[in-house]
């Protein structure tokens, strides 16, 4: 028993020693971490197993930048089997690996990372190492997006480098960004998206977020196109919103559409193009496709135009085809052409205009450009027609110039004119036919529809006799206004022409016939031709009332104040394109000025009835009452009455060019040879300046004469009535 007990004690002690030794060995083995060629081992389970069938890594290859660490992961089969893993690198100078599979790229090159189980199963990952980037850029630095309209940012780094990116948003409540750079706008506002490389290089994009649109519209709802004739749609969305568009075609075999809304017709038929916003709003356009044309023609193959005379070319294509046209000029400095075929001649010369269809068919027009006309002349300036009668008048322009001509009538109900200058008389009266060049040059013909060549003046309310008007009380009512119509408007005279004539009529001192001449007793000691406004005597014994530029109304006697004003208005009427007829017996074709309404330039009775008669050629042929008094009443001329000169100057009424009548007896009906008329020449109402004609004698000698600019004065005596005629 005693020996048996000892044996049992010995066995137990031996077993304790063996177990203790085994534990020590296992603990020692687990604690040992040895390295040979960067070999690392880690314990997968608390007990060594030998039944692992395979091991796999999460990736087989990897490209990394220097310093861009990465955690490899090993997958053991079957699952739940315990083993230890040993990690190693084929070149730890290029890529090192720690005991848990974390790799660290160190140098450009390639290394193979191997993981090995305790029973010898392995898996490998080839790691290629590039340099770390020196910089990073984003494809855009800013963008505006609608809420919910996602967008993928794209990065660019230094060539032959490698990195992984970290993305962040300055305000993820406005714009969030995922790990791949896809942004999602969430709320109206602005946020900055930042991308960062593993080695700290960064780039930023500012994202502005607007509301998503409530609607979308296309610029057209239907469209006709020829095969191959592309077209770019335009979209309109709700104001202050933003979106990106998705385009689609109901039949891309008939009409295709790209991502920007450009369509390409492919085959005859119909397709519907749809544009869709990121939030689902849509608009549609129905596109009908026809064949492309086989040919194109222009309405003319040659054209001759004046400089500046625009012209519209028209193109014609094969029936049941469709195209858009491209226009071009061989020399746009001579003739330019716009996108609709409207050509504009610019300089004398020749150019060829070409129209081209989308499929390459062409037509040409040769355009010769000539200078613009500086005038236009009519074959007749006066016509007398019976009602229903017709007449053709011709227009001509200077040689080597060119213009299209347009015709018009100021009273179509009296006389109408067609595009070729043929006039048709319709009712009794006077009409003015005007021809106009494209550059504004005009010529006119006065047409009297009735039975007689001569047009009689209209009668006044009291017939042919002048009627006095009472001016009693004007002394107490200085500035009394009568009439509503401007003088120049009644006579059809351009105000700008009239005022320019006043200032510039004596601009050419070398041309004696250009000036307004004033004869005074041609046979007397001071007879001669006085020039205005200086009154210099240019020539003696040569005293016509007219010159070749302004009419042919020569008189036999002196041209006094009334004739002077008449001649200023007559000359202005000429330069304004006025119309003139002959007198009954004077033998002159343009002596009598007459408007379409029958108005004529008035004269003062006391002189017109005598030797000076502008309209009839002599006292024996006195036919009309064209006196200032009758004229003022009949045409309701706007005028002001003043009892003395100072009141007139102080009134503020006077303007340059106004006509001032002065009456000695206080009556508008002329009855005294000392009544006077002149043109106010001041720059403001207070200037005491009158441009007029004076002829004063003493003891049968001329003491003052000539056309003068003086203070406002009469021919003699004291004026008791001043009448200012407004232009």
What does the alpha-carbon distance between residue 662 and residue 678 come to, in Å, rounded to a whole number? 9
Whether 575 has a pLDDT exceeding 60, the answer reads: yes
- Where is pLDDT greater, at 404 or 570? 404
pLDDT, mean over the chain: 78
- Where is pLDDT greater, at 139 or 634? 139
If residue 285 lies in a helix (H) or strand (E), which one and from where to where? strand 282-290
Three-class secondary structure assignment of 609-620: CCCCCCCCCCHH
In degrees, rounded to 5, the angle at the alpha carbon of residue 572 between the alpha carbons of residues 570 and 577 is: 100
- Rounded to a whole number of angstroms, the distance between the first and last alpha carbons of the chain is 163
Q: At 514, give phi and psi (nearest 5°).
A: -80, -25
3-state secondary structure of 68: coil
What does the alpha-carbon distance between residue 685 and residue 712 come to, in Å, rounded to a whole number? 12
pLDDT digits (tens, 9 = 90+) for 66-123: 999 999 999 999 988 989 999 999 999 999 999 999 999 999 999 999 999 999 999 9
Q: What is the pLDDT of residue 474?
A: 62
Q: What is the pLDDT of residue 143?
A: 97
Q: What is the pLDDT of residue 572?
A: 79
- Where is pLDDT greater, at 651 or 625? 651
Residue 9: pLDDT band with limits 50, 70, 90:
low
Residue 27: pLDDT band with limits 50, 70, 90:
very low
Two structure tokens written together for 200? 């700290």
Whose CA is closest to 723, among 645, 671, 631, 634?
Answer: 645
Whether 430 has a pLDDT exceeding 70, the answer reads: yes
- Where is pLDDT greater, at 544 or 375? 375
Query: Considering the chain, what percentage of its residues have pLDDT values greater than 90?
Result: 54
Whether 146 has a pLDDT exceeding 60, the answer reads: yes
CA distances from 644 to 41, 69, 647, 669, 727 (A): 129, 111, 6, 18, 21
Q: Are 370 and 348 in contact (CB under 8 A)?
A: yes
Whether 48 has a pLDDT exceeding 90, the answer reads: no
**Taking residues 637-660, what's their average pLDDT?**
91
Instruction: Tell me the pTM.
Output: 0.51
Residue 670's contacts (CB-CB under 8 Å, 6 or more residues apart) are 466, 604, 605, 606, 627, 628, 629, 663
What does the alpha-carbon distance between residue 558 and residue 589 come to, in Å, rounded to a whole number? 22
What does the alpha-carbon distance between residue 515 and residue 510 come to, in Å, rounded to a whole number? 10
Encode 604-641: b = buried (16+ Cβ within 10 Å), e = exposed: bbbbbeeebbbbbbeeeebebbbbbbbbbbbbebbbbb
pLDDT digits (tens, 9 = 90+) for 260-274: 999 999 999 999 999
Q: What is the pLDDT of residue 429?
A: 72
DSSP 262: E
**Taking residues 699-725, what's their average pLDDT?**
70
Indicate the burial class of 447 (C-beta count within 10 angstroms; 0-12, 13-18, 19 or more): buried
Q: What is the pLDDT of residue 50?
A: 56
- Where is pLDDT greater, at 524 or 630? 630
Q: What is the pLDDT of residue 607?
A: 34
pLDDT digits (tens, 9 = 90+) for 175-204: 999 999 999 999 999 999 999 999 999 999
Residue 473: pLDDT band with limits 50, 70, 90:
low
- Where is pLDDT greater, at 491 or 704? 491
Q: What is the pLDDT of residue 628?
A: 73
**Taking residues 660-687, what's their average pLDDT?**
78
Whose CA is closest to 695, among 670, 723, 676, 681?
Answer: 676
**Taking residues 642-661, what's their average pLDDT?**
91
Whether 5 has a pLDDT exceeding 80, the answer reads: no
**Taking residues 552-570, what's their average pLDDT?**
58
Residue keyed to tokens 């000025």: 593
The long-range contacts involving 165-172, CB below 8 angstroms and separated by at least 24 positions, are 165/136, 165/195, 165/196, 165/197, 166/195, 166/196, 166/197, 166/198, 167/193, 167/194, 167/195, 167/196, 168/193, 168/194, 168/196, 169/193, 169/194, 170/194
**Taking residues 317-321, what's their average pLDDT?**
93
Q: What is the pLDDT of residue 354?
A: 97
CA distances from 610 to 466, 524, 552, 603 (A): 15, 19, 19, 12
| Cβ neighbours, 10 Å, residue 78 | 9
- Where is pLDDT greater, at 633 or 620? 633
What does the alpha-carbon distance between residue 682 and residue 664 come to, in Å, rounded to a whole number? 23
**Taking residues 450-454, what's their average pLDDT?**
43
pLDDT digits (tens, 9 = 90+) for 371-396: 999 999 998 876 778 888 899 999 99
What does the alpha-carbon distance between residue 175 and residue 208 come to, in Å, rounded to a whole number? 9
Whether 363 has a pLDDT exceeding 80, the answer reads: yes
Weakest-pLDDT range from 143-157, 331-345, 355-369, 382-396: 382-396
Whether 356 has a pLDDT exceeding 90, the answer reads: yes
Sign of CA dihedral 179, 184, 187, 189: positive
Whether 515 has a pLDDT exceeding 60, the answer reads: no
| Cβ neighbours, 10 Å, residue 16 | 10
- Where is pLDDT greater, at 166 or 28? 166
């Amino acid at each position: 028993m005693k020996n048996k007990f000892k044996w049992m004690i010995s066995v137990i002690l031996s077993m304790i020693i063996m177990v203790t030794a085994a534990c020590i060995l296992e603990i020692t083995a687990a604690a040992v971490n040895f390295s040979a060629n960067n070999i690392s081992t880690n314990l997968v389970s608390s007990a060594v197993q030998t039944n692992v069938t395979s091991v796999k890594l999460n990736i087989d290859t990897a490209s990394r930048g220097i310093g861009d660490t990465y955690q490899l992961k090993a997958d053991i089969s079957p699952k739940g089997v315990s083993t230890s893993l040993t990690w190693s690198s084929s070149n730890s100078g290029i890529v090192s690996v720690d005991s848990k599979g974390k790799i660290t790229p160190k140098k450009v090159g390639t290394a193979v990372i191997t993981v090995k189980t305790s029973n010898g199963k392995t898996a490998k990952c080839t790691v290629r190492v590039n340099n770390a980037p020196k910089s990073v850029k984003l494809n855009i630095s800013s963008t505006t997006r609608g809420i919910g309209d996602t967008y993928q940012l794209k990065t660019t780094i230094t060539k032959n480098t490698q990195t992984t990116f970290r993305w962040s948003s300055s305000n993820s409540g406005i714009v969030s960004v995922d790990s791949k750079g896809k942004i999602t706008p969430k709320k109206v506002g602005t946020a900055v998206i930042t991308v960062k490389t593993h080695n700290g290089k960064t780039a930023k994009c500012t994202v502005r977020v607007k509301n998503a649109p409530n609607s979308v519209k296309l610029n057209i709802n239907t469209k006709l196109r020829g095969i191959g004739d592309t077209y770019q749609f335009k979209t309109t969305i709700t104001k202050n919103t933003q979106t990106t568009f998705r385009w689609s075609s109901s039949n891309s075999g008939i009409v295709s559409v790209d991502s920007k809304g450009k369509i390409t017709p492919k085959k005859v038929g119909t397709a519907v193009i749809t544009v869709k916003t990121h939030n689902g709003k849509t608009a549609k356009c129905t596109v009908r496709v026809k064949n492309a044309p086989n040919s194109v023609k222009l309405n003319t193959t040659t054209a001759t135009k004046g400089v500046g005379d625009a012209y519209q070319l028209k193109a014609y294509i094969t029936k049941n085809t469709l195209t858009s046209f491209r226009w071009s000029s061989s020399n746009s400095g001579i003739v330019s052409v716009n996108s609709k075929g409207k050509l504009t001649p610019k300089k004398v010369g020749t150019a060829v205009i070409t129209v081209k269809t989308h499929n390459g068919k062409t037509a040409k027009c040769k355009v010769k450009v000539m200078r613009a006309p500086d005038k236009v002349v009519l074959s007749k300036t006066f016509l007398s027609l019976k009602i229903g009668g017709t007449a053709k008048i011709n227009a001509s322009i200077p040689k080597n110039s060119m213009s299209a001509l347009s015709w018009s009538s100021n009273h179509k109900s009296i006389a109408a004119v067609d595009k070729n200058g043929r006039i048709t008389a319709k009712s009794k009266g006077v009409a003015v036919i005007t021809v106009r060049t494209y550059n504004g040059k005009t010529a006119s013909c006065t047409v009297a529809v009735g039975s007689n060549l001569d047009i009689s003046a209209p009668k006044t309310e009291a017939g042919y006799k002048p009627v006095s008007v009472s001016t009693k009380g004007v002394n107490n009512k200085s500035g009394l206004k009568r009439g509503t119509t401007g003088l120049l408007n009644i006579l059809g005279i351009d105000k700008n022409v009239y005022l320019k004539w006043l200032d510039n009529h004596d601009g050419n001192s070398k041309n004696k016939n250009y000036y307004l001449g004033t004869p005074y007793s041609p046979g007397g000691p001071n007879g001669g031709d006085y020039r205005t406004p200086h009154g210099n005597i240019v020539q003696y014994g040569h005293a016509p009332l007219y010159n070749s530029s302004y009419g042919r109304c020569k008189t036999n006697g002196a041209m006094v104040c009334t004739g002077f004003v008449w001649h200023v208005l007559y000359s202005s009427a000429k330069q304004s394109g006025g119309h003139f007829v002959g007198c009954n017996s004077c033998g002159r074709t343009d002596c009598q000025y007459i408007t379409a309404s029958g108005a004529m330039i008035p004269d003062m009775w006391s002189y017109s009835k005598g030797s000076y008669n502008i309209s009839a050629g002599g006292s024996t042929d006195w036919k009309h009452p064209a006196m200032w008094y009758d004229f003022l009443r009949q045409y309701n001329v706007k005028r002001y009455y003043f009892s003395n000169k100072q009141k007139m100057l102080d009134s503020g009424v006077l303007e340059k060019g106004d006509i001032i009548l002065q009456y000695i007896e206080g009556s508008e009906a002329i009855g005294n040879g000392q009544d006077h008329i002149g043109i106010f020449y001041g720059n403001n109402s207070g200037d005491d300046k009158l441009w007029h004609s004076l002829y004063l004698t003493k003891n049968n000698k001329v003491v003052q004469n000539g056309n003068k600019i003086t203070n406002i004065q009469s021919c003699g005596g004291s004026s008791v009535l001043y009448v200012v005629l407004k232009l």
